[in-house]
Amino acid sequence: MLSVSQNWKLHPTLSGKHVRLEPLSLAHVDGLHDAGRDPEVWTWLSQHQPADVSGTRGQVQAILDQPDRRAWAQIDATTGRVAGTTSYYQLNSHHRNLLIGHTWIGTPWQRTRLNTEAKLLLLEYAFDRLDAVRVGWETDIGNRRSQRAIERLGAVREGVSRAHRIRKDGSLRDTVTYAVTAAEWPAVRDRLTERLQ
């Protein structure tokens, strides 16, 4: 049996009824490029929309080169199509906390059960398998849609980090931080499970 710290090094496939989260690979490039065709998807992301499949491949390779990130392709369980991507990052096995982010899904899957179930799968794995004590999110202060989505999960808004990042246009970004703690997880799990039903 693996220790908790060894579990933090794993990168499994997570499967639900609506979505399958597969460890991101170059095999997902074509599907990701197709899912990300709507320029609106890229409005708040730190990356520019790739102009072609080669650009998407470069983005995926850059993600795979980050040793402290676990990225998944979000696969529509009904159609098998790649819907987007999401990640764990800033994993800290000693303090048992991590962030969920670098998430985007194509327009057809926004505000659907696929997105809700993906978050449930990620939270279940973090709290129930990794024994996390805290799972957090960071989002641009201007991205109200993202903030509402995180709040619908049941995460608690913790504050704003001023001038936290530099946006792709060079402007300074204030970052809103949210989290769910292990003590809050059972209620959050019940809420998300109810929403899926």
Which residue bears the tokens 């931080």?
Answer: 177
Partners of 176 in beta bridges: 139, 160
How does residue 2 score in pLDDT terms, banded at 50, 70 and 90? low
pLDDT average, residue stretch 128-154: 96
Q: How far is CA 73 from CA 35, 105, 192, in A?
A: 11, 10, 21
Euclidean distance between CA atoms 25 and 17, whole angstroms: 22
pLDDT average, residue stretch 154-166: 97
Domain count across the chain: 1
pLDDT over threshold 70, residue 185:
yes
pLDDT average, residue stretch 134-141: 98
pLDDT average, residue stretch 128-141: 98
pLDDT over threshold 60, residue 1:
no
pLDDT average, residue stretch 91-101: 97
pLDDT at 5: 67
pLDDT at 3: 58
For 110, the enclosing helix (H) or strand (E) is none
pLDDT over threshold 70, residue 4:
no
pLDDT at 189: 97
How does residue 111 score in pLDDT terms, banded at 50, 70 and 90? confident
pLDDT digit string, tens, across residues 6-62: 799 999 999 999 999 999 999 999 999 999 999 999 999 999 999 999 999 999 999
> What is the C-alpha radius of gyration for the chain, rounded to an integer number of angstroms?
16
Give the number of other CB atoms < 10 A from CB of residue 39: 8
Residue 152 CA from chain centroid, whole number: 15
* 3 state DSSP class of 11: coil
* CATH classification of the domain holding 21: 3.40.630.30
Structure letter (DSSP) for residue 79: T
Long-range contacts of 156-163 (CB under 8 A, 24+ apart): 156/180, 156/184
* 3 state DSSP class of 47: coil
**Which structural domain, as residue segments, surrounds residue 40?**
4-196
Tokens at 19, concatenated: 């979505």
Would you say 119 and 192 are in contact if contact means Cβ atoms under 8 Å apart? yes
How does residue 71 score in pLDDT terms, banded at 50, 70 and 90? very high
pTM: 0.95
Mean pLDDT score across all residues of the chain = 96
Q: Helix 185-196 to helix 113-124 angle, to the nearest 10 degrees?
A: 150
pLDDT at 69: 96
pLDDT over threshold 70, residue 182:
yes
Phi and psi based region of residue 119 (left: phi greater than 0; alpha: psi -120 to 50; beta: remaining)? alpha
The secondary structure of 139-187 as a DSSP string is EETT-HHHHHHHHHHTPEEEEEEEEEEE-TTS-EEEEEEEEEETTTHHH
